[in-house]
């Protein structure tokens, strides 16, 4: 039986960006299925003890930049630790990824998620801007109508349901990979994800 990974993330997360392509490759290697579940960390943090980046202690903010540079260099993934369009609201991209997952499937949603993350961290683009989101749909070969569909109440409600589901699963940060109720937090846990899938 094929295993399924619940993939919880914030579309604007640099850590999701650093792990996304490797996670996609892992899914191909293992044959595992994925549920692409963008969430609103602004709803997750208050119930899990997390803080939005601007509210974190200066020491934590400084160390985050060091770690982003370290992982970017170690993985060979281009990343600007302080991009022009960050912080940025993730909900519009989250709604769009949710709409694409529902209409075009998880593979298309994975493709768009990677494009959204690159837009922030490698391309200096504003993923809260509808024009940018339309461009990303086009670059991914997806139906432009998905942008309008992403504004529907039903899609926004599903995005909210993903967030509630993440909270119920014990998720407290992004990215989180959940397999049979077991959480693996962070792109640096992908080796453990692969071992769990193999087991």
Residue 5 has a pLDDT of 98
Instruction: Walk along the chain (199 residues) and give the pLDDT tens digit of each residue.
Output: 689 999 999 999 999 999 999 999 999 999 999 999 999 999 999 999 998 998 999 999 999 999 999 999 999 999 999 999 999 999 999 999 999 999 999 999 999 999 999 999 999 999 999 999 999 999 999 999 999 999 999 999 999 999 999 999 999 999 999 999 999 999 999 999 999 999 8
Give Cβ neighbours of residue 58 (< 8 Å, ≥ 6 apart).
none
Residue 1 has a pLDDT of 67
Residue 199 has a pLDDT of 82
Q: Cβ of 194: how many Cβ atoms within 10 Å?
A: 18
**What is the full DSSP assignment across 145-178?**
HHHHHTTSHHHHHHHHHHHHHHHHHT--SSSEEE
Residue 133 has a pLDDT of 98
Q: Which of 7, 8, 5, 39 is nearest to 163 (CA)?
A: 39
Contact by Cβ (8 Å): 38, 101: no
- Evaluate if pTM is beyond 0.95: yes
């Amino acid at each position: 039986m094929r295993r399924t990974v619940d993939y919880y993330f914030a579309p604007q997360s640099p850590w999701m960006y650093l792990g996304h392509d490797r996670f996609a490759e892992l899914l191909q290697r293992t044959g595992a299925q994925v549920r692409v579940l963008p969430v609103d960390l602004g709803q997750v943090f208050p119930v899990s003890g997390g803080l939005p980046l601007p509210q974190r202690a200066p020491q934590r903010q400084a160390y985050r930049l060091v770690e982003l540079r370290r992982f970017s260099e170690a993985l060979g993934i281009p990343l600007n630790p302080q991009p022009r369009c960050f912080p940025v609201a993730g909900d519009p991209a989250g709604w769009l990824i949710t709409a694409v997952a529902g209409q075009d499937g998880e593979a298309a949603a994975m493709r768009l998620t990677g494009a959204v993350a690159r837009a922030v961290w490698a391309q200096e683009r504003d993923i809260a801007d509808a024009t940018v989101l339309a461009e990303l749909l086009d670059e991914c070969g997806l139906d432009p109508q998905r942008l309008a569909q992403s504004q529907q109440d039903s899609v926004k409600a599903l995005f909210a349901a993903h967030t509630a589901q993440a909270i119920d699963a014990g998720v407290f940060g992004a990215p989180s990979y959940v397999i049979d109720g077991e959480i693996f937090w962070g792109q640096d846990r992908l080796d453990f994800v692969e071992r769990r899938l193999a087991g």
